[in-house]
Amino acid sequence: MKTEQAVSYVAIAVIAVSLFFIGAELTGFATYNDTAEVNVTIDASAGISFSTAILDFGSGAVTPGHSAVLDSNAGTGTYWSGSNTSSQLVLENIGNVNLTLQLKTNNTATQFIGGTNPLVQAKVTNKSEEPGACTGTNAFDDYAEINTTLQTACGGAFAYETAYDQIDINFKLTIPSNALGTRTTLITAVGTDA
Partner 1 sequence: MNFRPPKKENIYILKPILRNIMENKKRVTVLVVIALILAVTAIALNTTDSSSEVPTTTQANTAPTGAVIGVTILPNEVEDKGAEVPGAQA
Q: What DSSP character marks residue 43? A: P
Q: Which of 45, 83, 116, 137 binds partner 1 (CB under 8 A)?
A: 45
Segment 83 to 142, residues that bind partner 1, using CB under 8 A: 89, 91, 95, 97, 99, 113
100 contacts 156 by C-beta, under 8 angstroms: yes
Of residues 57, 54, 102, the one with CA closest to residue 77: 57
Q: Which amino acid is present at 93?
A: N
**Mask for 147-186, x = binds partner 1 (CB under 8 A):** ----------------------x-x-x-x-x-xxxxxxxx
Backbone dihedral angles phi then psi of residue 49, each to the nearest 5 degrees: -150, 140
CB of 37 to partner 1, least distance (A): 21
Compute and round to an integer the Cα radius of gyration of the chain: 30
The reply to whether 14 sits near partner 1 by the rule CB under 8 A is yes
Of residues 113, 125, 138, the one with CA closest to residue 164: 125
Contacts with partner 1 by CB under 8 A lie at 1, 4, 7-8, 10-12, 14-15, 17-19, 21-23, 43-50, 52-64, 70, 81-82, 89, 91, 95, 97, 99, 113, 169, 171, 173, 175, 177, 179-193
